[in-house]
Amino acid sequence: MSNDNRKPTIAIIGGGFSGIFSAIRVKKELGIQPHIFEGSKDFGGTWHLNTYPGCACDVPSHLYSLSTDLNPYWSKKYSPQSEIHDYMRGLVDKYDLRSNATTNCEVVKATWLDDERRWKLDYRNRLDPEHELQTVYYDVVFVAIGSIRVPKVPEQFKAFEGTVVHTAMWDSSIDFTGKKVAVIGSGASAVQAVPELSKVASKLHNYQRTAIWCRPRGQYAYSALTKFLFRWCPLLMKLYRLKFYLIVSRQSLIARMVSRSLVNAMKKRILKQGRPDLVKKLIPDYAAGCKRIAVTDDYLEALCRDNVVVEKSSITEVHGRTIVTADGNKEEYDILVLATGYDVQGFLGNLTVQGKHKQTLNDSWQDAFPEMYKTTCINGYPNMFIILGPSSILGHNSVLTMTETQVNYIVQGLKLMVKENLVAFDPTKKAQDKFVAQLKDDLENTVWKKGGCNSWYVNKEGDVTANWSSTVTRFWIKLRKFKNFDDFNIYKE
């Protein structure tokens, strides 16, 4: 890139919410048409890929949407997957993002060429049976693939000889009617899928390593009048959104103090179904908030059905279509549903990222704390920015607020880079170390660290690598202004 204020070329890897918002802001604020590389056949990310029965968001719809593009037409307080996906595709069409995007395209390697001061991207077309690599070059790369993307498939379940499906790779052609089904897991996808699957399965066993805290969803539909008012009075819709922001923020702050009320509420729901035998099984023994609290009106109720069995004993063996547990129980199933979540620490998956000193991000972060500066950029990886990667996920609130904050911060930096005729920048090791040290210190006192549970927030070494350490408001304060390049190495032509 020459030093005549020429605008940089920009690639965005990922077509989910992070990639969509990044592209919108880059077009609006920088006047640059970025190129989006999306591995699936359509935009949407998580909301394109996750289509299991009952899939929905556990954050109120009016909060789980872009602040720049509020939607007055949400049908319910918590919207289903299909409606969220439609909203995202509407954004893609509104901002004409398809015209400069490649779908069914997997970027397998990003290499920083220090002599040329640009990134080399190697990708393959998934529709090409030969999978031949193609190469392109860009000045700037946004990695917008997100942390919730690589399905976790425990090795022991690969031996199952019946039908196997992961909630993140759902096959809608599978017929569960009258079948004996095993659902592995008690996280968000299990909470949503079990109530639906148990309606049609002859028998459903839910294997839970740990119970999950639940609170009522309180679902309701929006009337035509409400949608009309939101459409023609945007301020009213913004105030309504703010209400939800304040509610969920408050919930996160008092999570440690609400365990008793959650116990009482969950116990009441279970006893109402006439199942006192399940109280001990279904109420967690770890601090509320240590894992994400499930928002559900029907999961506990579904577990109390006559055709549902809650299995707490650990699985020791899988052979044929039989699952054996530590207590000696053996059960044979037609279908195995893996609601086992994602490999958050290995979120890069097949994407290898090689930086300035020939090191790869994959090796640097393997079994180690993922060190970044302000959760967006990394020392030794100039002009590469990660959205919703390590240390930016939430145990509460809407991650889209985090996305917007990160992208706005990065775009400010790129504006300044163009203005000062620079070709690249990355954080200094000193600035990054200072940020990481403070982040780790703040995380030490969180419920994720001290709550007594094992969660996907934490890596094998016991470090909380996924989550931001404080409130969304504090995150916004830290990233709201890209002032100068004092904390950065700068690169000129």
> What share of the chain has pLDDT > 70, as a percent?
97
- Residue for token digits 């699936």? 40
Q: Give the pLDDT confidence score for residue 2 in this predicted structure.
A: 44
Q: Average the pLDDT over 24-38 and give the result.
A: 97
126-140 pLDDT, tens digit each: 888 777 899 999 999
Portion of the chain with pLDDT greater than 90, in percent: 83
- Helix or strand holding residue 407 (H, E): helix 399-419
Note whether 319 and 308 are within 8 A (CB): no
Same fold, 10-43+97-150+343-491 and 155-219+231-338: yes
What are 184-237's pLDDT values in tens digits? 999 999 999 999 999 999 999 999 999 999 999 999 999 999 999 999 999 999
On average, the pLDDT of the chain sits at 93
Burial class of 493 by CB neighbour count within 10 A (0 to 12, 13 to 18, 19+) = exposed
Shortest CA distance to 156 belongs to which of 211, 209, 212, 210? 209
Mean local confidence (pLDDT), 41-51: 95
Q: Is 214 exposed, middle or buried (0-12, 13-18, 19+ CB in 10 A)?
A: buried
* The predicted structure's pLDDT at residue 130: 79
- The pLDDT of residue 427 is above 80: yes
Residue 445 has a pLDDT of 85
Is residue 175 over pLDDT 60? yes
CATH number, domain 155-219+231-338: 3.50.50.60
The residue among 145, 192, 155, 479 whose CA lies nearest residue 344 is 145
Mean pLDDT of 392-417: 94
In this prediction, residue 253 carries a pLDDT of: 55
**Token pair of 416, please?**
């300044």
Tell me which architecture the domain covering 10-43+97-150+343-491 has in CATH: 3-Layer(bba) Sandwich (3.50)
Domain range summary for the chain, segments of one domain joined by +: 10-43+97-150+343-491, 155-219+231-338
